[in-house]
């Protein structure tokens, strides 16, 4: 097997990975591997924007409170404090690197999204904020010496021994390469693809969480999956996101009878928290015997909608839908993973040499439900922190030598017959049984159904689709088990058989390979 060395290995090139790479680069060689083209990531598709307490009417204290409220009591307060306090500095830095956010006159323009008590969402080109972040960060990465980028290179497994991680096995042109590293940063994003309906791009298959779990890292809060209330619902179209910012600007939800309904569910109506709006939509869908509701922007005016949401307008036009004149059919879709690889506020996992940042990580910043537009900020703040730790706590070369000699990775030429069918079955099972509303029966069916594919977890693959399927099965199993174990409703986790919080709700469920699930405070 080919063996290569780098000081810092970063897996993933979204906001978290790129920001980590920039931080680590002055201290040694950095290799950023990514399994698709460099920009393919959730970051690239982020629409609404990036939350930051920079407006005259806002303070970091109010941003902190809003984040804790959205998290429904389960946020780790120190992690939130650092997010909101360091956020403004990270944004000003990004602007100094060339990021352009929309302005009103000479001042930055701030949008509103659900559960924010102030207008605090910076956006770019209306609804293309993530694209602007990727553009600026990639440009910065290119300008920094020491950073090597490898596209179409997928991390298969971590190289680990005795609680220490020394890099990863990478599939490069379907050949395994052992990439030894003094620090390894997971920045592989989320898990949306394990659901039949998702706003997430194809790359979001939970790889980082699965790799970390197999290597002995602790995963936490896996039951908390955020569903976005409004994804496009057209038979031939993808589940394209219709940003919450549309409702922030006055967009309304109507059922198929044309009735407004959100005021019947919550006093904040269209701007209630995402889990409340998603469940309200499901209820209206059931009540009216339909499969969608409508988002109505017709009263906002043609010019305003086209100018404020150019990407959403033009994407819907491609599907023959004029959002300025027609009702938009929408339904919820899996959107964001609050749980993930447990880290401290420095991005450190329980494995020496392994760090995680961004959606793959669970710093506890989002608790049981993420405040909208906090994740891009998290990527910047905790990407930088993880990159800094990668340097500060880098393993001595001796650790790499020890493991290098013992390295042996010989994948058998495995292949799973009909793996795309299994993928479809898994995604449907998760949507139907571990979706917005869960209960004991549905979750037990899911756990049992997923365990039928356990044989796939024992195999090693080199093809992207099969590797992804293996990781999806691994992560789906953990989500279903966590959801079954948490016998209560809290944040985004809603159990119809336990609609309220239990007495000992203030705990985090954790999983470590080879051990029984455990709880932490
Ligand atoms: P990503 O940006 O997803 O990057 C992950 C990277 O890892 C990719 O480069 C991927 O190719 C790579 N990768 C994955 N597995 C492997 C592997 N095995 N080997 C090598 N590389 C791998 N959040 C906000 O704050 N504001 C918004 O407006 C917003 N809008 C959103 C809109 C959409 C449609 C979506 C899907 C999400 C949105 N979010 C938003 C959430 C936010 O975009 C993500 O949480 C955030 O971008 C995640 O960043 P990341 O760097 O952790 O991961
Ligand atoms: C959106 O624009 O609605 C997505 C924002 C987010 O997920 O934070």
Distance of CA 351 from the midpoint of ligand 1 (Å): 23
Residue 333 beta carbon below 6 angstroms from any ligand 2 atom: no
Same domain? For 370 and 419 the reply is no
Residue 42 beta carbon below 6 angstroms from any ligand 2 atom: no
Residue 187 beta carbon below 6 angstroms from any ligand 1 atom: yes
Domain holding 326, by residue range, is 229-333
Same domain? For 355 and 327 the reply is no
From 41, 128, 315, the mutation candidate for ligand 1 (largest count of ligand atoms within 8 A of CB) is 41
Atom index in ligand 1 nearest the CA of residue 377 equals 25
Q: Give backbone dihedrals phi and psi of 171, rounded to 5 degrees, phi first.
A: -90, 110
Is residue 403 within 8 A of residue 180, CB to CB? The reply is yes
Residue 381 beta carbon below 6 angstroms from any ligand 1 atom: no
From 15, 41, 48, the mutation candidate for ligand 2 (largest count of ligand atoms within 8 A of CB) is 48
pLDDT tens digits along 287-304: 999 999 999 999 999 999
Distance of CA 230 from the midpoint of ligand 2 (Å): 10
Q: Which ligand is nearest to the CA of 229?
A: 2
Distance of CA 323 from the midpoint of ligand 1 (Å): 26
pLDDT tens digits along 190-215: 999 999 999 999 999 999 999 999 99
Residue 270 sits in a domain whose CATH number is: 3.90.700.10
Residue 372 beta carbon below 6 angstroms from any ligand 2 atom: yes
Same domain? For 41 and 27 the reply is yes
Atom index in ligand 2 nearest the CA of residue 376 equals 8
Residue 425 beta carbon below 6 angstroms from any ligand 1 atom: no
Atom index in ligand 2 nearest the CA of residue 370 equals 8
Same domain? For 265 and 355 the reply is no
Q: Beta strand 361-362 with 340-342: parallel, antiparallel or unpaired?
A: parallel
Same domain? For 178 and 312 the reply is no
Same domain? For 89 and 144 the reply is yes
Same domain? For 24 and 169 the reply is yes
- Helix or strand (DSSP H, E) at 83: helix 77-96
Same domain? For 451 and 306 the reply is no
Q: What is the pTM of this model?
A: 0.98
Number of other CB atoms surrounding residue 431 within 10 Å: 18
Atom index in ligand 1 nearest the CA of residue 375 equals 25
Residue 48 beta carbon below 6 angstroms from any ligand 2 atom: yes
Q: What is the DSSP letter of 27?
A: G
Atom index in ligand 2 nearest the CA of residue 226 equals 7
Q: Which ligand is nearest to the CA of 379?
A: 1
From 10, 14, 48, the mutation candidate for ligand 1 (largest count of ligand atoms within 8 A of CB) is 14
Of residues 412, 308, 345, 291, the one with CA closest to residue 80:
345
Residue 475 beta carbon below 6 angstroms from any ligand 1 atom: no
From 16, 42, 381, the mutation candidate for ligand 1 (largest count of ligand atoms within 8 A of CB) is 42
pLDDT of residue 412: 65
Total of domains in the chain: 3
Q: Closest residue (by CA) to atom 52 of ligand 1?
A: 358
Residues of the chain with pLDDT under 70: 411-413
Residue 441 sits in a domain whose CATH number is: 1.20.58.100
Q: Which ligand is nearest to the CA of 44?
A: 1
Q: What is the DSSP letter of 395?
A: P
Is residue 213 within 8 A of residue 511, CB to CB? The reply is yes
Same domain? For 28 and 142 the reply is yes
Distance of CA 189 from the midpoint of ligand 1 (Å): 5
Domain stop point among 374, 406, 438: 406
CA–CA separation, 141 vs 511, rounded Å?
35
Catalytic residue positions? 274
Residue 369 beta carbon below 6 angstroms from any ligand 2 atom: no
Same domain? For 366 and 380 the reply is yes
Domain stop point among 350, 374, 406: 406
pLDDT of residue 174: 84
Distance of CA 45 from the midpoint of ligand 2 (Å): 10
In angstroms, the Cα distances linking 369 to 16, 313, 512 are 20, 28, 23
DSSP per-residue codes, 273-329: -HHHHHHHHHHHHHHHT-S-EEEE-GGG-HHHHHHH-HHHHHHHHHTT--TTTSPEE
pLDDT of residue 413: 62
Of residues 254, 299, 303, the one with CA closest to residue 280:
254
Residue 47 beta carbon below 6 angstroms from any ligand 2 atom: yes
Domain stop point among 406, 423, 453: 406
Same domain? For 350 and 311 the reply is no
Q: Closest residue (by CA) to atom 36 of ligand 1?
A: 200
Is residue 501 within 8 A of residue 489, CB to CB? The reply is yes
Residue 31 beta carbon below 6 angstroms from any ligand 1 atom: no
Residue 161 sits in a domain whose CATH number is: 3.50.50.60
Distance of CA 48 from the midpoint of ligand 2 (Å): 5
26 contact partners, CB below 8 Å, separation of at least 6: 146
Same domain? For 144 and 234 the reply is no
Residue 15 beta carbon below 6 angstroms from any ligand 1 atom: yes
Residue 129 beta carbon below 6 angstroms from any ligand 1 atom: yes
Residue 379 beta carbon below 6 angstroms from any ligand 2 atom: no
Distance of CA 373 from the midpoint of ligand 2 (Å): 5
What are the tokens at 330?
């929408």
């Amino acid at each position: 097997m080919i063996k290569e060395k780098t000081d810092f290995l970063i897996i993933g090139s979204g906001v978290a990975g790129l920001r980590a790479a920039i931080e680590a680069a002055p201290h040694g060689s950095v290799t950023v591997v990514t399994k698709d083209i460099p920009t393919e990531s959730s970051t690239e598709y982020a629409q609404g924007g990036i939350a930051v307490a920079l407006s005259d009417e806002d303070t970091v204290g109010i941003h902190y409170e809003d984040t804790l409220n959205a998290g429904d009591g389960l946020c780790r307060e120190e992690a939130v404090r650092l997010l909101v306090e360091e956020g403004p500095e990270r944004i000003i830095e990004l602007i100094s690197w060339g990021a352009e956010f929309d302005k009103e006159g000479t001042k930055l323009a701030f949008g509103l999204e659900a559960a924010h008590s102030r207008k605090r969402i910076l956006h770019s080109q209306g609804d293309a904020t993530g694209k602007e972040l990727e553009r600026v960060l990639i440009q910065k990465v290119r300008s920094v010496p020491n950073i090597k980028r490898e596209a179409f290179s997928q991390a298969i497994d971590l190289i680990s021994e005795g609680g220490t991680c020394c890099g990863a096995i990478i599939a490069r042109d379907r050949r395994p390469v052992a990439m030894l590293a003094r620090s390894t940063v997971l920045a592989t994003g989320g898990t949306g693809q394990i659901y039949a309906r998702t706003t997430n791009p194809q790359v979001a298959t939970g790889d980082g969480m699965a790799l970390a779990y197999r290597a002995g890292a602790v995963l936490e809060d896996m039951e908390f999956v955020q569903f976005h209330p409004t994804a496009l619902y057209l038979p031939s179209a993808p589940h394209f996101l219709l940003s919450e910012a549309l409702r922030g600007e006055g967009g309304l939800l109507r059922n198929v009878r044309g009735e407004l309904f959100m005021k019947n569910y919550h006093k904040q109506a269209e701007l209630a928290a995402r889990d409340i709006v998603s469940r309200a939509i499901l209820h209206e869908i059931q009540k009216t015997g339909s499969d969608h509701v409508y988002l109505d922007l017709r009263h906002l005016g043609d010019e305003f909608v086209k100018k404020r949401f150019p990407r959403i307008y033009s994407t819907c036009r491609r599907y023959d839908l004029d959002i300025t004149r027609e009702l938009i059919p929408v339904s919820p879709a899996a959107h964001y993973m609050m749980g993930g690889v447990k880290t401290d506020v420095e991005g450190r996992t329980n494995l020496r040499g392994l760090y995680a940042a961004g959606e793959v990580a669970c710093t506890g910043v989002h608790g049981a439900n993420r405040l909208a537009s906090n994740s891009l900020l998290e990527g910047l703040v905790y990407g930088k922190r993880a990159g800094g730790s990668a340097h500060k706590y880098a393993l001595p070369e001796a650790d790499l030598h020890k493991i290098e000699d013992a390295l042996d990775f010989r994948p058998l030429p495995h292949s799973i017959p009909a793996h795309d069918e299994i993928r479809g079955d898994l995604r449907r099972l998760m949507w139907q049984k571990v979706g917005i509303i869960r209960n004991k029966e549905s979750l037990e069916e899911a756990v049992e159904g997923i365990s039928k594919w356990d044989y796939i977890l024992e195999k090693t693959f080199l093809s992207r689709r099969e590797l992804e399927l293996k990781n999806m099965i691994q992560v789906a199993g953990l989500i279903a088990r966590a959801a079954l174990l948490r016998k209560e409703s809290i944040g985004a986790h809603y159990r119809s058989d336990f609609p309220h919080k239990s007495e000992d709700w203030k705990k985090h469920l954790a999983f470590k390979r080879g051990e029984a699930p455990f709880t932490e405070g």
